[in-house]
Amino acid sequence: VQGRFVDVALRLALPGPLQFSVPEALLGRLVPGQRVLVPLRAGRDVGYVVGFSGEPKVSGVRPVQRALDEVPQLPPDLFALVSWIAARYLAPIGLALRAAVPQAVQYEGLRRAAARERLVQVASLLLPVAEAGGLAAQLARSAPAQSRALVSLAAAPSGRLPAAVLNRGALEGLARRGVVGIAPAPMVRGVLAPPGEILPPVEPSHAQAAAFQRIGAALAGETARPFLVHGVTGSGKTELYLRAVRELPSDRQALLLVPEISLTGQLISHLRRRLPFPVAVWHHQLSDGEKYDLWRAARRGEVRLVVGTRSAVFAPLPRLGLVIVDEEHETSYKQEETPCYHAREAALERARLAGAPVLVGSATPSLESRRRAAEGAYELLALPERHSGIPLPVVELLDLRLHRAPAPVSGAPRPRGAPEEPRLIAPPLLDAAGEALAAGDQVLFFLNRRGFAPFTQCRRCGEGLRCPNCRVSLVFHAPEREHRCHYCGYRVPAPETCPSCGAPALRLAGSGTQRLEQEIRRAFPGREVLRLDRDTASRKGAGPAVIADFEAGRADVLVGTQLVAKGLHFPRLTLVGVLGPDLLLNLPDFRAAERAFSIVSQVAGRAGRGDRPGRVIVQTLQPEHYALRAAAAHDYESFYAEESAFREELGYPPFADLVALRLDGADRDRLAAAAESIAGRVRACLAAETAAGRCRVLGPVPAPLERIRNRWRSQIIVKARPLEAAAGPLRAETRRLQEAARRAGVHLLLDVDPVSLM
Ligand SMILES: [Zn+2]
Ligand SMILES: [Zn+2]
């Protein structure tokens, strides 16, 4: 029996839902996930029903004005997912709903709705596809335009195309024949129709066939465990995904999550060439109108496959039959604002709720995922070799200590009088690049730092140029001749003299991709060099254009940051040079070695994917580091063993769970005082669990990046095993902790399973 009071979550940063009374007419008719119109101060707003109670929590509870939908707008599984995210990630349910539902959907049908479905003239085939083909053949001579239009319609999904893309006269002719209808209909933006020709399936390797047998069993409902697809670079993980999607019954939908949409152009065009139905692409850069269209089409079950980033985990697919998380180790799956959910974890829960098989895939699985496989929570599907017998590239670790004194990428100041041009690329790598280029091959250089020089220091007084808003060095950008902060975007024209002492003694130190590009252009005059980093990729479409140019062989050398490491396939690329892995290894974060191993393995995996073998040269000051040694040997298991031992000893994930309480404030002293007081509350609330040995509260300590955007930053870290030992008590305390933070004038973010502690 439903109570007379209903909890309604609004699209607002409130600590919890608001309570309203249920009017007589709606008693017993409201369900969770349903939209209701409720009074809010002088106006009103649209919220979702999230729960019921028999008693008012405060006096003066106002009634719900009306229910907006007969059928709840939020399907039960999505509502359950949103509730799960709010609970697990210690977030108010209103904010979890805001992350899940596009604004235009929540306000659908009301005047505040920003978007409406767009109707266009749509031509649709009125006869079966086979007959259309026969008619097209008959008309090929007498009415060639009508014949071509028929062929296009027969190839289109459900025989429908926007009338505007077809010859108008031909359509009118076909309409007169009674074989095509033309009528206004909703046209979905954001869904890509399949191209005319679909490529046939590829013959699977032995490992692929064995893996697919297991996936097939899951699709048939014979096994329910998630799969971890651990496939080396180039082993054909995508092929497995494709086959699983293709073999789904046609009334089922699939969801494929990818870490970053701008870098998945190659994947999406590959999918489209191989799947005979439309693919919907879902990401945060879609307009409100596009999201609205996609949501509606998905809800109607018209979309067979949604490919998307993090937020696509909320796509309303009524008969979800398969969930795939590609590159599951990627940190971009983590949302860094409330709710701080991890899309891989949300996808697992989504699949569980729908009873759908799930594949999480990577060439370098996260320690969390690999351990779950070791414990039997996942079934491991290994693809240990590259597809079609191409060998993995040979990886050499080049000891920079043997080639020259401190590497410029370390940022160490150069002694006075040293040559003006520091050589970033050690001679053996330079020679190898020259040979590869002479052989007509392509070369990739990786350096995970953009800009020209990461530090600028005065040779007289020793002061460095720092961001006035953040406690970090400014990075010199050569094309614009300015210094920029990579955290807050502050920029200033390059000064001639030291701002501290006035001496004309400023010196650029260290190296980023711009300096590397310059050095490569000097070393190989006449060669086409492209650069791919956040600076060159920030313009819309620029990133994919660089990738397409390099793929088409319009350039010889590609220089880039980790943007070049992800899933790209260049058949003519035979040499990869990795610079500065030490930068990754030495970050003050417990996942530094894992990130370095993953990025070096992934970028090395770009080499030799065509018919010529690949070679990778990693220049480093730490060639004996286990992460680099394992990456060079393509030995994930030894890395996993060594890294696991370290994590277990220090009580880090996957051997414990973390909750980070991140605090920031404008005033350093007030923040420090507030952080101490909040840490005291956290310790008190977790005292019993701490005494039982299931929790440890660390801090507060200043964050490694102590000041960003004029805000001082501090963090409290809770280690817990199991997570609920900390999350349970903290969930009950969240409202009071937030209240204490607000009173102290600081901002508090609760981050469960943080991926970065910077
Ligand atoms: Zn100075
Ligand atoms: Zn800054």
- 455 C-alpha to ligand 2 centroid (Å): 14
Cα distances (Å, whole numbers) of residue 359 to 211, 277, 356, 364, 379: 11, 21, 10, 15, 10
Q: Whole-prediction pTM value?
A: 0.85
Q: What is the pLDDT of residue 118?
A: 60
Over residues 259-282, mean pLDDT: 81
Point out the ligand nearest to the CA of residue 505: 1
Question: Parallel, antiparallel, or unpaired for β 711-720 and 657-665?
Answer: antiparallel
- 55 C-alpha to ligand 1 centroid (Å): 69
Q: What is the pLDDT of residue 88?
A: 96
- 499 C-alpha to ligand 1 centroid (Å): 7
| Percent of the chain clearing pLDDT 90 (strictly above) | 62
Point out the ligand nearest to the CA of residue 484: 2
Cα distances (Å, whole numbers) of residue 35 to 2, 8, 103, 319, 742: 17, 9, 13, 22, 30
Q: Could you tell me the strand order of the sheet in which 305-308 lies?
A: 191-192, 279-282, 305-308, 253-257, 320-325, 358-362, 227-231, 379-383
SS3 92: coil
Report pLDDT digits (tens) over 11-26.
887 878 899 999 999 9
10 Å CB burial of residue 416 (0-12, 13-18, 19+) is exposed
Q: What is the pLDDT of residue 316?
A: 93
| Percent of the chain clearing pLDDT 70 (strictly above) | 93
Q: What is the pLDDT of residue 636?
A: 96
- 465 C-alpha to ligand 1 centroid (Å): 10
Q: What is the pLDDT of residue 111?
A: 60
- The 10 Å Cβ neighbour count of residue 109 is 12
- Angle ∠(234,379,266) on CA atoms, nearest 5: 30
Pair 8, 57: CB distance under 8 Å: no
pLDDT at 386 over 80: yes
pLDDT at 412 over 50: no
Over residues 428-454, mean pLDDT: 95
Question: Distance between alpha carbon 435 and the CA centroid of its chain, in Å?
Answer: 37
Q: Quick one: pLDDT band at residue 422, thresholds 50, 70, 90?
A: low
**Closest alpha carbon to 537 in 509, 558, 555:** 558
Weakest-pLDDT range from 116-125, 537-546, 708-717 = 116-125
- 455 C-alpha to ligand 1 centroid (Å): 14
Over residues 156-165, mean pLDDT: 70
Weakest-pLDDT range from 183-192, 250-259, 568-577, 608-617 = 183-192
**Closest alpha carbon to 405 in 420, 426, 421:** 426
Distance CA 743, CA 748 (A): 11
Q: Quick one: pLDDT band at residue 523, thresholds 50, 70, 90?
A: very high
- 498 C-alpha to ligand 1 centroid (Å): 5
Point out the ligand nearest to the CA of residue 495: 1
SS3 116: coil
Point out the ligand nearest to the CA of residue 485: 2
- 509 C-alpha to ligand 1 centroid (Å): 15
Q: What is the pLDDT of residue 653?
A: 95
Over residues 475-479, mean pLDDT: 93
Query: How much is the mean pLDDT over the chain?
Result: 89
Distance CA 445, CA 560 (A): 6
**Closest alpha carbon to 627 in 670, 594, 651:** 594
Q: Quick one: pLDDT band at residue 113, thresholds 50, 70, 90?
A: very low
Over residues 137-162, mean pLDDT: 81
Q: What is the pLDDT of residue 578?
A: 96
DSSP 273-311: HH-SS-EEEE-TTS-HHHHHHHHHHHHTT--SEEEESGG
- 282 C-alpha to ligand 2 centroid (Å): 31
Contacts (Cβ under 8 Å, ≥6 apart) of 452: 475, 476, 477, 478, 508, 511, 512, 514, 515, 518
Q: What is the DSSP letter of 371?
A: H
Point out the ligand nearest to the CA of residue 503: 1
Q: What is the pLDDT of residue 407?
A: 43
Q: Specify which residues 619 forms β-bridges with.
A: 398, 579
Q: What is the pLDDT of residue 414?
A: 46
Q: What is the pLDDT of residue 459?
A: 92
Tell me the CA end-to-end span of the chain in Å, nearest whole number.
Answer: 49
Over residues 514-535, mean pLDDT: 94
Q: Quick one: pLDDT band at residue 6, thresholds 50, 70, 90?
A: very high
Distance CA 747, CA 380 (A): 42
- 37 C-alpha to ligand 2 centroid (Å): 43
pLDDT at 649 over 90: yes
Q: What is the pLDDT of residue 158?
A: 65
Q: Quick one: pLDDT band at residue 166, thresholds 50, 70, 90?
A: confident
SS3 181: strand
Q: Quick one: pLDDT band at residue 188, thresholds 50, 70, 90?
A: low
Question: Parallel, antiparallel, or unpaired for β 711-720 and 442-447?
Answer: unpaired
Q: Which residue has the higher pLDDT, 336 or 195?
A: 336
10 Å CB burial of residue 706 (0-12, 13-18, 19+) is middle
- 489 C-alpha to ligand 2 centroid (Å): 6
SS3 583: helix
Distance CA 38, CA 8 (A): 8
Q: What is the pLDDT of residue 409?
A: 45
Distance CA 705, CA 219 (A): 46
Over residues 624-638, mean pLDDT: 96
Highest mean pLDDT range out of 150-159, 287-296, 678-687?
Answer: 678-687
- The 10 Å Cβ neighbour count of residue 727 is 21
- 488 C-alpha to ligand 2 centroid (Å): 4
Q: What is the pLDDT of residue 273?
A: 82
Report pLDDT digits (tens) over 277-320.
778 888 877 777 788 888 888 888 888 899 999 999 999 999 99
10 Å CB burial of residue 256 (0-12, 13-18, 19+) is buried
